[in-house]
Amino acid sequence: MVYEVFRQERKGQPYAHAGAIAAPDQAFAEAYAREQYGRRGESVGLWVVPRQAILEVHDFVDELERNYHRVDGYSLRDKLKEARERARTAAARDR
Amino acid sequence: MRHLHERLLEIADDELVLGWRNSEWTGIAPFLEEDVAFSSIAQNEIGHARALYQLVARELGTTADELALDRQPGEYRCAPLVELRLVDDWAKTIARHWLYEAADWIRLAALRRGGDEDLAGLAAKIDREEAYHRMHADMWFARLRDEARFQEAVDELWPSALGVVDPELRAELAALVGRPEVPAVERDAHTDALRELWDEMTMVRRSEPAGAQW
C-alpha cells in the first residue's frame, strides 16, 4: 500500500507534500514516515495518508472562456495605468 | 558485583556489535523503506555505543575510539546474541531484533533506577530513541509471529537473549516476552563470528599507526 506523506517544517506552517512510502499497514507507514521524513529534525509534524484516501481532481472545464473568473482575465496593469493617468490630469487641473 | 564501567562496557559492546550486524542489511533489506529504517536503527545503536564508551572512557582515562576499536576480540564484553551473522535470514534477524529490544528495555530501566545521575540521564535519552526501535520490532513481531520460520528463530535465540541481561533481570525478561526461563547463554564465551566481525570492523583503524588523526 502506498502512503503519501506531508510534513510541517515549523509550527504554524502549512503541511506540504514530502513524498510517498510503501508500507503494508498503518504501523509500518508510521515507522517508515518517521525514519524518512522526521529523523533529522526536518519536521515537527507529519500527515501520513493512504493514497486511496486522496480525492484527486484534475479536469477544470472552461468551455465558455469565463476569463473573469481568473486573475489573468483582469489586467491590473492597464487599469492602474488609467487610474494614474486620471489622477495626474485631475491634479494638473486643480493646480 | 562488577564495577559500573564493566556493566556499561557490556552494553556499549552489545550496541556496537549489534549496530554493526544490523548495518550488514544496508542495501539488501527486503524492501527499500525497510532498508532505510533498519539502517537508521543500526546507526542509532552505534550512536548509543559511542555515548556509553565516552562515559566509560572518562572513567578509565582513555577515548571512545580506543575502547571501540583498539581492544582484542577476546576483550570485548558483548553477548553471543549480538555476534551472530544473520544475513540473509530476515526472520532470524527480526527475532533477534525483537528479543534484543526487549532485553535492552529492561536493562535500561534498571540503569535509570540505579541512582547514578549522569547514567540515569543518558539511559533516559537512549531509551527515548529505543522507543522507536521497540515500535519497529513490535510491528514486525505482530506481522511474523504466526510464521513457523519466525517461531523457530525465536526458540533458537531465546537462551542467548536471556544472557543479554543480568541474572536478576531474567525473570522480568521472560515475563515480558512470554517465554519460560531457561539456562542462558552467558557472555563469558565468544562465538567465532565475533573474530570475523572484529577483523573487518577494525581493519581501517589497524591500517594506520596508533594515534593517527582522521
Examine residue B126 and state whether it is found in any structural domain, yes or no. yes
Give the Å distances, CA to CA, from B82 to B45, B85, B132, B213. 12, 8, 19, 30
Mutate to test the interface with A, among B33, B90, B145 (most CBs of A within 10 A): B33
The verdict on residue B171 lying in a domain is yes
Domain for residue B211, yes or no?
A: no
Domain membership of residue B50 (yes or no) is yes
Convert the pLDDT of each residue in B151-196 to its tens digit. 999 999 999 999 999 999 999 999 999 999 999 999 988 999 999 9
What is the CATH number for B62?
1.20.1260.10
Residue in A with minimal Cα distance to B136:
A31
Q: What value, to the nearest 5°, has the Cα angle with vertex A57 and ends A61 and A65? A: 15
The predicted complex's ipTM stands at 0.78
For chain B, give the mean pLDDT.
94
Q: What is the largest CA-CA distance in chain A?
A: 78
State how far Cα B38 lies from the chain centre.
Answer: 14
Cα–Cα dist B37/B73, whole Å: 29
Chain A residues lying within 8 Å of B142, measured CB to CB: 27
Buried b (16+ CB within 10 A) or exposed e, B31-63: eebbebbbbbbbebbbebbbebbbbbbeeeeee
Q: What is the mean pLDDT of residues A68-72?
A: 70
Q: Does A21 touch chain B (CB under 8 A)?
A: yes
CA A19 to chain centre: 15
Which residues does chain B have within 8 Å of residue A33's beta carbon, measured at their own beta carbons?
none
Question: Is residue B213 in some structural domain?
Answer: no
**Which of A1, A25, A39, A48 has the most B C-beta neighbours within 10 Å, making it the best mutation to test the interface with B?**
A39
Note whether residue B160 is domain-resident: yes
- How does the average pLDDT of chain A come out, rounded? 90
User: B32 to chain A: which residues are within 8 Å by CB?
Assistant: 22
Report residue B128 as a C-alpha cell: 527515548
* Residue B57 predicted with pLDDT over 90: yes
Q: What is the pLDDT of residue B173?
A: 98
**B31 in contact with chain A, both atoms CB, cutoff 8 A:** yes
Q: Which domains does chain A have, with CATH numbers?
A: 2-53 (3.10.20.520)
pLDDT given for residue B1 in this prediction: 52
Q: Is A38 within 8 Å of chain B by CB?
A: no
- As for how many domains chain B has, the answer is 1
- Asked, for residue B44, whether it belongs to a domain, the answer is yes
Helix-, strand-, coil-residue percentages of chain B, each rounded to 5: 70, 0, 30
Domain that holds residue B84: 4-206
**Which residue's C-alpha cell is 525483537?**
B98
Distance CA A40, CA A42 (A): 5
Q: What share of chain A is helix, strand, coil (3-state, %, to 5)?
A: 40, 20, 35
Say if residue B88 is preceded by a cis peptide, omega within 30 of 0.
yes
Write out the three cell numbers for A94. 486643480
